[in-house]
Amino acid sequence: MSNKNVVVIGAGFAGLSAATHLANKGYQVTLLEKNNTPGGRARKFETEGFVFDMGPSWYWMPDVFDTYFSFFGKKTSDYYDLQRLDPSYTVIFGDNDFVDIPANLEEFRALLETLEPGVGPKLDEFLKQAAYKYKVGIQDLVYRPSRSLLEFASPKLLLDMLRMDIFQSMSKHVRKFFKEDKIIRLMEFPVLFLGETANNIPALYSLMNYADIALGTWYPKGGMHKIIEGMVSLAKEKGVKFQFDAEVSKINIQDGKATSVITKDGKEYKADVVVAGADYNHIDRHVLEDKYSNYDDKYWDKRVMAPGSLLFYLGVNKKLKNLRHHNLFFDEPLGPHADAIYTNPRWPERPLFYASVPSITDPTVAPEGSENLFLLVPLAPDLNDTAEMREKYYNLIMDRLERLTGQEIRSHVVYKRSYAHNDFKSDYHAFKGNAYGLANTLLQTAILKPSLKNKKVKNLYYTGQLTVPGPGVPPSLISGHVVAKEVIKENNL
């Protein structure tokens, strides 16, 4: 058992992962969480018989979760039960134009053949390349701390990198294989999880198509928060101590080392190492003194952020028709306004949106005879978030949802809560109100991301969606592991 004290800030996926990995190696770990429950963006809330996951709703890359728990001799099934969704999701292209995406690969291949006859062999080659990228990317590259080019200097890895299409856009890559617009939109959809459009994401990330098509879409029974409950249980088993309602206001630094962390209520936590899993910009620019920041405001303002989100949590007192667990509304063309979702600080005229109805799969998340409806509208970060704009977009989205699914919904909404930029800022100190972190553009990949190590404070580290490897739940799990390995390597344990 080590006598070294680690303070981890933030009980989201990355913070929980880092804390548990470090505790497993003998550190004395205290995890400080600003909110009164763990999970970060993956918190839940319950009201009037409805159980709402507040953020992530897609369970992709099941192998990453399996790997995480296996580090501690555990299995995901020790903490929650998984169900593979079939269809994985449905895409609504317009009136009476719904496409269910089957879980079975051969059925998926047959579906694409109906859309673009003769496309089967092209799909096979596309997925073969995607599988290779997934193997190299998710099983190797993302576990590198990306602090030096030397990490990528082996001849084999350089050859692998050439095969990974890092200098070609996802948009061009997809169009090498497919001509039909619906197929192109299906293949480009997964990179939206990475915070950018296909025009601006390297074709390396066709690995996401392998995750989607080959590995499938899953659901942890009880909701996504079951993952958090499992991680918290495991962390406590390893000795992690949790402090909730413990917002960090200051990190004390002496002689280039963090010595303690102060919370808003004045409590002090001694530290030999500090790992910041809270918003990187907030820690770097608002908790630390300027002289200890890794990056200045000019640097942060130039970062390309993943989109913000306008969310609606709705309790509906009837069963809904013509909807699946996951529903993508692509009834509006992306067109020239697509990139504006991510960059231009204005509300889009014709937004895409996503609807999740987990109660279709899991009756425990809504009262009997009711539905749990979650709506998400991707938006540019840093918008002027007002109650009037939220209501305008609620009605705009509901107009389309009701028309396309052929049913009245609004009059049956018995619970309604919205959540957008101002809430992300208030609850998570999210930079520009971002929901997903930093976009995975080529110039924000690997060593070009904000560093996981503070350059001026030798025992201060960062983890989460604004550093390596990037946004999303599986990358955040990996981020916590990566930073823990660096802490262990550099702090004599």
pLDDT of amino acid 165: 87
What pLDDT was estimated at residue 343?
60
Question: Is residue 448 scored above 90 in pLDDT?
Answer: yes
DSSP E strands, 206-324 = 218-220, 241-243, 248-254, 257-263, 268-270, 273-276, 308-316
**Residue 166, pLDDT score:** 85
Least confident interval from 83-92, 331-340, 437-446: 331-340
Output the DSSP codes for 81-125.
-EEE-SS-EEEEEETTEEEEE-SSHHHHHHHHHHHSTT-HHHHHH
- Percent of the chain clearing pLDDT 70 (strictly above): 96
pLDDT-based confidence at residue 371 (cuts at 50, 70, 90) = very high
pLDDT at 3: 83
Strands (E), 290-426: 308-316, 326-329, 353-356, 371-379, 413-419
Q: Is 275 left (phi over 0), alpha (psi -120 to 50) or beta?
A: beta
Average pLDDT, the chain: 94
Give the per-residue pLDDT at 301.
Answer: 95
Between CA 492 and CA 184 the distance in angstroms is 50
Cβ neighbour number for residue 45 with a 10 Å cutoff? 13
Q: Which amino acid, residue 36?
A: N
Half-sphere exposure of 469 (CA within 13 A, CB side): 20
In angstroms, the CA 195 to CA 441 distance is 8
Q: CA dihedral in degrees (325, 326, 327, 333; nearest 10)?
A: 180
**C-alpha distances out from residue 104 to 149, 189, 215, 278, 288, Å:** 40, 19, 10, 39, 50
> Residue 328 in contact with residue 92, Cβ under 8 Å?
yes
How far apart CA 13 and CA 472 sit, in angstroms, is 10
pLDDT in tens, 125-162: 999 999 999 999 898 889 999 898 777 767 776 677 66
Q: Determine the average pLDDT of the residues in 89-96.
A: 97
Q: At what angle do helices 13-24 and 225-237 cross, to 10 degrees?
A: 20
Q: Is residue 333 scored above 80 in pLDDT?
A: no
- Domains 5-45+222-302+437-490 and 108-215 belong to one CATH topology: no
Average pLDDT over residues 451-476: 96
Ordered by start, the domain boundaries in the chain are: 5-45+222-302+437-490, 108-215
Q: Say what the pLDDT of residue 337 is.
A: 47
Reported as a single tens digit per residue, the pLDDT across 204-251 is: 999 999 999 999 999 999 999 999 999 999 999 999 999 999 999 999
- CATH 3.40.50.970 holds for 5-45+222-302+437-490: no
- Do residues 224 and 246 lie in contact, with contact meaning Cβ atoms separated by under 8 Å? no
Query: Which range among 147-156, 187-196, 270-279, 405-414 shows the weakest confidence by mean pLDDT?
Result: 147-156
For residue range 16-59, list pLDDT tens digits in order.
999 999 999 999 999 999 999 999 999 999 999 999 999 999 99
3-state SS assignment for residue 370: coil
Q: Which residues contact 18 (CB under 8 A, 6 or more apart)?
A: 8, 275, 277, 463, 479, 480, 481, 483, 484, 487
Q: What architecture does CATH give domain 108-215?
A: Orthogonal Bundle (1.10)
CB 12 within 8 Å of CB 60: no
